[in-house]
Amino acid sequence: MGDTLKAFSDPVRRDIMMMLKGGSMNAGDIAKELNISPAALSYHLKILKKAELVMEYKQKNFIWYEINTTLFDELILWLKQFGGGSDEKQDSVDSVNDTAVGNVSNS
C-alpha cells in the first residue's frame, strides 16, 4: 500500500494516471503530451509499475501503458475499512466506490 500512496504523491504521476484514464498510450505520446524527457517519463513509469498502478505490454515496436483496474478495486476495498459503521457513511463510501470504479472502467 505504501508504494501505491507514494506513487500518487507526485503531480507528474497523477497526470500520467489521468491521461491513461482515457485509454492505453505509448511512452512517446505520454512524454510528448507532458513535455518531459523520455528519461523522466521512464522514472515515473517505473514507480507506477512498481506500485502496480500501471501495466505495460508490447505491440510491434512500441510499449503501451494502461491503468491496472484490479488494483483500484483492491484499494477501494482496503479504504472501506476506514468508513465506520453507520449506514449513512457506508452509503457515502459506496457512492464514491461506484464513481471511482465507473471512471476507471470507462477508460
The answer on 56 and 15 residing in a single domain is yes
C-alpha grid cell, residue 107: 477508460
CB within 8 Å of 11: residues ≥ 6 apart: none
pLDDT at 47: 95
Q: Mark whether 13 and 63 lie in a shared domain.
A: yes
What is the pLDDT confidence band of residue 50, given thresholds at 50, 70 and 90?
very high
Say if residue 43 is exposed, middle or buried (CB neighbours under 10 Å; 0-12, 13-18, 19+).
middle
Same domain, 13 and 62: yes
pLDDT of residue 105: 47
> What local confidence, expressed as pLDDT, does residue 83 receive?
81
Residue predicted with more confidence, 68 or 107: 68
Gap between the Cα atoms of 54 and 30, Å rounded: 13
Which DSSP helix (H) or strand (E) runs through 91?
A: helix 87-105
Query: Does residue 55 sit in the same domain as residue 22?
Result: yes
The Cα–Cα gap between 73 and 95 comes to: 14
d(CA 74, CA 76): 5
At 100 the pLDDT is 52
Amino acid letter at 106?
A: N
Instruction: Please tell me whether residues 61 and 80 are part of one structural domain.
Output: no
pLDDT beyond 90 at 1: no
Asked if residue 95 has pLDDT above 80, the reply is no
List the domain range (segments joined by +) for residue 90.
69-105
pLDDT score, position 79: 84
Q: Which three cell numbers stand for residue 38?
A: 523520455
